[in-house]
A and B are shown apart, each in its own frame.
Chain A
Amino acid sequence: MNLLGYSLHQWVFGVLSFITIVFALMVVFSRNPVNSVLYLVLTFFGIAGHYLLLNAQFLAIVHIAVYAGAIMVLFLFVIMLMNLNADDEPQKTMSSKIIAGVLGGLLLFVIVGVLRQTAQILPQTQGAADIGLVKTLGMVLFNEFLFPFEIISILLLAALVGAIMIGKRETTESKL
């Protein structure tokens, strides 16, 4: 399909990118933290769409499950626990915000500039076209990257234990 000279793929890419960037901006600029969380969820959905576009099916599902499903829920829990709303939201000074904006812009400018100077990126044509499928990815994961895979499990254990240890309420603390 050829709409206005662009193929379907390119249109979908454009729409998804637009969504992602808009919602990302709204994450940063919204005053209510609950709103921020929700916008971030939507951003994640956009990115998941990109993954699907790139034929990384497994990752798209995992992305949604882990990020949107677990991490964002965690954030939401914490915000609810602290009972935050838009009123007592701490604000930085205007000058700080402007400086932040300027620095961010400069960062973008410089990154783009550096990347433009790199040589032409050419695809390396070996490898199959269906690397995003669960089966193929699983084979790679358990053959070449077995050791990191196991280590990751230990990492997750450590994080688990750490989070519990840190978050435990001390018995000598005064009851609020």
Chain B
Amino acid sequence: MINGISINLYLLLSAVLFCIGAIGVMARRNTIILFMCIELMLNAVNLLLVAFSCLHKDATGQVFVFFVMAVAASEVAVGLAILSMIYRKKRSIDTALLQNLKH
């Protein structure tokens, strides 16, 4: 119980956000939206980490979130750079056009 809110509720909230992010990843063809949904999933996990850190009064969880944020930032930077390269080549960001790894 954190301030009267059971930890299960946080678990549920995090799970819901994660699944929404998963649906977004599977249902959208626009690569940028794809990235954003991935960020959403990461944030769901961050939320859960902080909740548990508060529950156990352990700072490790928050430090972890700190690092996750740093990694997420660098990942977005590199990912968007790649995306702009692809855009230059293909003039579109449709994932359906990125099929060169086919058999």
Q: Do A and B bind each other?
A: yes
Select one of B40, B59, B69, B88 contacting A63, CB under 8 A. Answer: B69
Are A127 and B57 in touch, CB under 8 angstroms?
Answer: yes
Main secondary structure of the interface of A (DSSP, over half): helix
Instruction: Give chain B's interface residue range (CB within 8 Å of chain A).
Output: 35 or more
- Tell me if B101 is interfacial: C-beta within 8 Å of chain A: no
Task: Quote the shortest CB–CB distance from A46 to chain B (angstroms).
Answer: 10
Q: Shortest CB–CB separation between residue A58 and chain B, in angstroms?
A: 8
Contact of B74 among A59, A107, A108, A158 (CB under 8 A): A158
Which chain B positions have C-beta within 8 A of A115?
Answer: 8, 11, 15
- Kindly name the residue among B1, B5, B9, B53 whose own CB sees the greatest number of chain A CB atoms within 10 A: B5
Q: B3 touching A51 by the CB < 8 A rule?
A: no
Chain A, range 55-111, C-beta contacts under 8 Å to B: 55-56, 58-59, 62-63, 66-67, 70-71, 74-75, 78-79, 81-82, 84, 89-92, 96-97, 99-101, 103-105, 107-108, 111
A21, B16: Cβ atoms under 8 Å?
Answer: yes
B5 near A9: Cβ-Cβ < 8 Å: yes
Alpha-carbon gap, A103 to B19, bound state (A): 9
CB-CB under 8 A from B66, the residues of chain A are 59, 62, 141
Count of chain A residues with Cβ under 8 Å from any Cβ of B?
86
Q: A155-B71, A166-B82 are in contact. Are A112 and B15 (CB under 8 A)?
A: yes
A-B pairs with beta carbons under 8 Å apart, 25 shown: A9-B4, A13-B9, A21-B16, A21-B17, A27-B33, A28-B23, A33-B32, A36-B36, A56-B54, A59-B65, A71-B76, A75-B76, A79-B32, A90-B92, A97-B27, A99-B26, A107-B19, A108-B16, A108-B19, A124-B58, A125-B57, A131-B62, A152-B70, A162-B78, A167-B84
